[in-house]
Amino acid sequence: MEQSMKNLRLEVADRESQYGYVYAVSGPVVTASSMSGSAMYELVRVGHGELVGEIIRLEGDMATVQVYEDTSGVTVGDPVLKTGKPLSVELGPGIVNNIFDGIQRPLKGICDLTSSIYIPKGVNVPSLDCKAEWEFDPTHSLRSGMHITGGDIFGVVHENSLVKHRIMLSPKAQGTIKWIAPSGNYNITDNVLEIEFDGHTTNHTMLQIWPVRQPRPVAEKLPGNHPLLTGQRILDALFPCVQGGTTAIPGAFGCGKTVISQSLSKYSNSDIIVYVGCGERGNEMSEVLRDFPQLTVEMDGKQESIMKRTTLVANTSNMPVAAREASIYTGITLSEYFRDMGYNVSMMADSTSRWAEALREISGRLAEMPADSGYPAYLGARLASFYERAGRVHCLGGPEPRYGSVGIVGAVSPPGGDFADPVTSATLSIVQVFWGLDKKLAQRKHFPSVNWLISYSKYLRALDDYYDRNFPEFVGLRTKMNEILQEEEELSEIVQLVGKASLAESDKITLEIARIIKDDFLQQNGYSNYDRFCPFYKTVGMMRNIIGFYDQARHAVEVTAQSDRRVTWALIREAMGPTIHKISSMKFKDPKADGKEKILREFEELSEEITAGFRNLEDL
């Protein structure tokens, strides 16, 4: 009897050691007592509703917990369950073509379970469907008795017609294969691999659990060498980004940040898209869910929905503020997982300003010393730790060599479009590409409203080799186009003072060609079939003809300047009106309907027409 009472007391003490107690509540920040033995960033369950939280500060046996759900109803004395594990995500088949909240709870699964449009407090649903069966095909080169190490691909699941999900051994595991599952249907909790290391045997499933704040290991980080083609002419031609690059899109409300992010998701040359809606309107995620299934990409002659390569992490403005921070880390961890398979991944974070505001709110409740505009002093460090997880890498494990990349495109929403805002300033000191959106361009309905005078890309040198191999004349065309736009900006001030008529003929040509570049090249209509996406060959073809016309017009004016039959801009416009109209109409060529060969042939014919037109002018 005495022994059973002793066992009961030990059991109660053991159970009590797993719990702390709520000491104070301040919005999403809860202070808990009796938390000795806990670790930083440990996952805890707060209150009787078991709300998800994360320890962000430890003092003695007191812990400060950031709660990722609404804390209304939590009272002093409520239990706080210690889990002993960090906030982690589930990685395995079933991630793509799915939508999660900021802490990787599946929204569709919650909706099916609760039949509610809202997420109930404390709901506990597995992130990935444990009952769904996937057709597992083991790697044929691996057999029992062979060595296997972290990152090695030991099987493949054809998740859908766009994504071949490569099943990898966890980076922390290694050993000798004792058994590998034969081809067949398995769910993500079934054992498919048994390995032995140092006398210990471990079983492995298709599922990996990984802490979100810990970057996944790689063999080596490499410089980017392939452009991220967006389908937007101004971005591909003037301010290119590489696969595995970091980009910021700051802009005021209504400038088109979300539209550019969605265009990248729809048309870029990435293998996988992870779209994180962080603190923005819920309707933006609804748009993605509505539009993406209807958009297709051609794969082996078949049209496939781009939703099959997309994962959504939705943490909209009406969801708890604290979960915004987690959503960014959830998104980047999912991206790193696909990168390790050897895919080129693009992660869209819309918007990092809302994440920074969440940091500011938590920091304020912790009574930390505020820095500029109330943001915490460690804002820059947090942003840097997020952006530095991007990059092109040599992946761990075999088959060798395997290369993947994660590119991050972060939208920034500075209040009132002020680029001196702390979040924008800190972001621009980290990222390599800056696509600055201009309110005045947006008001003129010039979209994409990227200001070509303030935007920049630091990847131009890195991409020169790619352009020299595939489009040898492109670098010269881009330099010339930038010069024309810069010259036009300087001339516009003179025109406002003295009028266009008093300009030199060559300056009139510069102004007119700059207008064609701005209106017919840099501007794109995202709602049209012909212009919502512009392949790179079409971009280069348009640049070649515009710059070719400019060079020949300048040459004709300069050559005849001293002769009796001077060629002026008025004469060129009168004699070559139809040709100028054709140059302006190049954007109307539809890549899908007309095809690459026809478009290139028509561009070549137009180039010959321009040359013939100027030859006739000079012979007059």
> What distance in Å separates the CA atoms of residue 153 and residue 160, rounded to the nearest whole number?
18
Burial of 472 (0-12, 13-18, 19+ CB in 10 A): exposed
> What distance in Å separates the CA atoms of residue 182 and residue 603, rounded to the nearest whole number?
55
> What pLDDT, on a 0 to 100 scale, did the predictor assign at position 266?
87
> What pLDDT, on a 0 to 100 scale, did the predictor assign at position 283?
86
> What is the identity of the amino acid at 414?
P
Beta strand pairing status for 433-434 and 456-457?
antiparallel
Which residue, chain included where needed, has tokens 């992660």?
347
Which residue, chain included where needed, has tokens 């609760």?
114
Helix 536-559 and helix 577-584, axial crossing angle in degrees, nearest 10: 150
> What distance in Å separates the CA atoms of residue 478 and residue 214, rounded to the nearest whole number?
40
For residue 317, give the 3-state DSSP assignment: coil
CATH (one of 3.40.50.620, 3.30.160.270, 2.40.50.100, 1.10.10.10) for 129-206: 2.40.50.100
Q: How confident is the model at residue 279 (pLDDT cuts 50, 70, 90)?
A: confident
> What distance in Å separates the CA atoms of residue 370 and residue 427, rounded to the nearest whole number?
18
> What pLDDT, on a 0 to 100 scale, did the predictor assign at position 10?
52
pLDDT tens per residue across span 171-211 = 999 999 999 999 999 999 999 999 999 989 999 999 999 99
> What distance in Å separates the CA atoms of residue 602 and residue 395, rounded to the nearest whole number?
43
> What distance in Å separates the CA atoms of residue 286 and residue 53, rounded to the nearest whole number?
27
Q: Which two tokens stand for residue 159?
A: 């998740």
> What pLDDT, on a 0 to 100 scale, did the predictor assign at position 303?
85
Residues facing residue 175 across a β-bridge = 148
Among 366, 322, 294, residue whose Cα is nearest residue 69: 322
Return the ∠ at Cα 377 (arms to 375 and 379), rounded to 5°.
65
> What pLDDT, on a 0 to 100 scale, did the predictor assign at position 61?
93
> What is the identity of the amino acid at 270?
S
CB 345 within 8 A of CB 335: yes
Q: Which two tokens stand for residue 389?
A: 């997880």
Q: What is the CATH number of domain 471-619?
A: 1.10.1140.10
Q: Which two tokens stand for residue 443?
A: 């008001």
CATH (one of 1.20.120.140, 2.40.30.20, 3.40.50.300, 2.40.110.10) for 2-86: 2.40.30.20
Among 189, 181, 184, 203, residue whose Cα is nearest residue 94: 189
What are the extents of the domains in the chain? 2-86, 91-110+218-430, 129-206, 471-619
Is cis: bond before 429, omega within 30 of 0?
no
Which residue, chain included where needed, has tokens 């008529």?
501
pLDDT tens per residue across span 17-65 = 789 999 999 999 999 999 999 999 999 999 999 999 999 999 999 999 9
Among 363, 289, 364, residue whose Cα is nearest residue 98: 289
Fold classified for 91-110+218-430: Rossmann fold (3.40.50)
The CA-atom distances, in angstroms, between 603 and each of 471, 524, 610 are: 15, 19, 11
Percent of the chain with pLDDT over 70: 97
> What is the identity of the amino acid at 12?
V
The helix or strand, by DSSP H or E, that contains position 44, with its residue range, turns out to be: strand 42-46
Look at the chain and count its residues: 620
Is cis: bond before 183, omega within 30 of 0?
no
Residues facing residue 167 across a β-bridge = 155
The CA-atom distances, in angstroms, between 308 and each of 94, 99, 134, 281 are: 11, 12, 16, 23
Percent of the chain with pLDDT over 90: 75
> What pLDDT, on a 0 to 100 scale, did the predictor assign at position 16?
57
pLDDT tens per residue across span 527-546 = 898 998 999 999 999 999 99
User: With 90 as the cut, is the pLDDT of residue 234 above it?
Assistant: yes
Per DSSP, 614 falls in state: H
**pLDDT mean over 106-111:** 92
From 304-313, 338-347, 538-547, the region with the lowest mean pLDDT: 304-313
**pLDDT mean over 504-512:** 94
Provide the CB-side half-sphere exposure for 149 (13 A, CA).
9
User: With 80 as the cut, is the pLDDT of residue 371 above it?
Assistant: yes
Claim: this prediction has a pTM higher than 0.75: yes
**pLDDT mean over 5-16:** 56
Averaged pLDDT score across all residues of the chain: 92
- Give the phi and the psi of residue 428 in degrees, each rounded to 5: -65, -25
